[in-house]
Amino acid sequence: MAVDRFGFSSSIVAGEGAADAVRAMTGGDGFDVVFDATGYGPSMEKAFGFVAHGGALVLVSVVKDDIRFSDPEFHKREMMVIGSRNATRVDFEHVADSIAKGLVLRHQQGNVQPLNIIACENMVRGTSQLKQHVFAALPQDEQAWVEQHVGFVDSAVDRIVPPADSSDPLEVTVETFSEWIVDQTQFWSLRNYHCPLDHVSQFTNVACPCVSEKQSLNIRSQAFKL
């Protein structure tokens, strides 16, 4: 995928020799831009050493850990550190507006088939916040119909990265991505609801799906087992 979609000509396997491989590949300079999307603190810290002088490190992942780095090394490289949340408010409002236009079209076409919108986002009540923006973009006379015919279901979709028992900070263990935790009470027409995914098992409801709930999951939630 890295070659086909992004045009990468080579790759480096994470491990103890990664830093040496970076130096060898770049003539000792490092990369102009380094993106870290691991969501793993030690890997994010290690990424500082892969950036060239005057380069930039983009941290795409968000973690609760403190990220530590060598301040003298950071200043010597005259590098930039950039935090990325993947989208701007304008992007988010464009999505909400597009959803609103689609819902209006469904109403105009007389489509009353069950529709549930789930934002794959670990923000607490992320779909509920999306709903507020969608309703702000809806004409006033369409809001009651949407409220009656569309479910906005909060969820938590994420992989947990357990603490790694390794001396190599780039060695990351990730859980199998197989659980979709949702608030069952928010589904539209719940009594007739059928999840369209194959190999699904449903459990009981969780009132506020979020990452912390996922971490302490005791099969108290409705989870789609993929």
pLDDT for 133 equals 95
Whether the pLDDT of residue 191 is over 90: the answer is: no
C-alpha span between 57 and 81 (Å, rounded): 5
> For the segment 110-169, what is each residue's pLDDT rounded down to a tens digit?
998 889 998 876 677 889 999 999 999 999 999 999 999 999 988 876 555 556 666 665
Longest dimension (CA), the chain: 65
Confidence grade of residue 220 (pLDDT, cut at 50, 70, 90): very low
Cα separation, 9 vs 40, whole angstroms: 26
pLDDT-wise least confident of 53-67, 79-93, 212-226: 212-226
Taken in order of first residue, the domains within the chain and their CATH numbers are 2-83 (3.40.50.720), 89-225 (no CATH)
pLDDT above 70: percentage of residues in the chain: 68
**Helices 126-137 and 89-108, interaxial angle, to 10°?**
70
- For residues 183 and 206, the answer to whether their CB atoms sit within 8 Å is yes
